Amino acid sequence: MTVRAVAEAAVLVLVTAVLYGLGYEFQGWLFLFSEHVPGVSWFYLPAGLRVLFVLVAGIYGALGVFCASLVINVLYMKDIGGTVLLLTAAASGFGAWVALWVLRLGGVIEAGLSGLTAAALMKFALLYSGLNALFHQLVWWFFKREGVLFWVDVWPMFVGDLLGALVFLYGLKGLLQLRKTRRAGIF
């Protein structure tokens, strides 16, 4: 890897980390009411950012989300620390990345997202939501985080991530449609 490539990778990690952090603040500001228990929401919009960052920036996007999640966990999840905090951040950052690799190995998504279809994108959102919820809950269950009920909490987290990812992607689609409409010249 050249120095330039390393610098670009660092910028991608930094930008995705900052944007994810802002997305988390936005979530807390607008959708706090959807919180099931601390760290689990019925609607989690930053899930869409994870999808976007991991699909676009790959491992650098995952690292960005991981770094931002570390800071978020230190600031807002006072009941966890050490290994649990680190693994929780890893679950946030790499859940989507693992989902991407599972689909790549399964031949659903090709390298560089070449020929990515809407159906493959939906499968990715679904698998990512499942893996993310599973990884988080497994970490908390294994390390006996206080008040964690694996089979109760895994569903709201799955639904919250899936809803967040879909709303984000459809929001993006709406924006693209709006831009296209504004640009459509007929005279």
Partner 1 sequence: MNTRSPFKSAYLRFLQLISAVEAMPGLQDFDANEKALFDALVLHWSKGKPLTVREAISLSELGSPATLHKRLKRLIAKDLMLAYHDGTDRRTKFLQPSEKGMVYIEWLSAQLTAVQAH
Q: Can you give the binding site for partner 1, defined by CB under 8 A?
A: 4-5, 8-9, 11-12, 52, 55-58, 60, 112-118, 120-122, 169-170, 172-174, 176-177, 180-181, 183-184, 186-187
Phi-psi sector, 161: left (phi>0), alpha (psi -120 to 50), beta = alpha
Q: Which residue type occupies 17?
A: A
Phi-psi sector, 115: left (phi>0), alpha (psi -120 to 50), beta = left
Residue closer to partner 1 (CB basis): 84 or 169: 169
Least Å from the CB of residue 141 to partner 1: 33
Contact present, 140 and 107 (Cβ < 8 Å) = no
Residue closer to partner 1 (CB basis): 20 or 140: 20
Contact present, 104 and 111 (Cβ < 8 Å) = yes
Angle formed at CA 124 by CA 154 and CA 70, multiple of 5 degrees = 55
Contact present, 38 and 53 (Cβ < 8 Å) = no
Least Å from the CB of residue 182 to partner 1: 8
C-alpha span between 165 and 169 (Å, rounded):
6
Least Å from the CB of residue 41 to partner 1: 23
Residue closer to partner 1 (CB basis): 79 or 110: 110
Residue closer to partner 1 (CB basis): 38 or 106: 106
Least Å from the CB of residue 39 to partner 1: 28
Least Å from the CB of residue 157 to partner 1: 23
Residue closer to partner 1 (CB basis): 144 or 183: 183
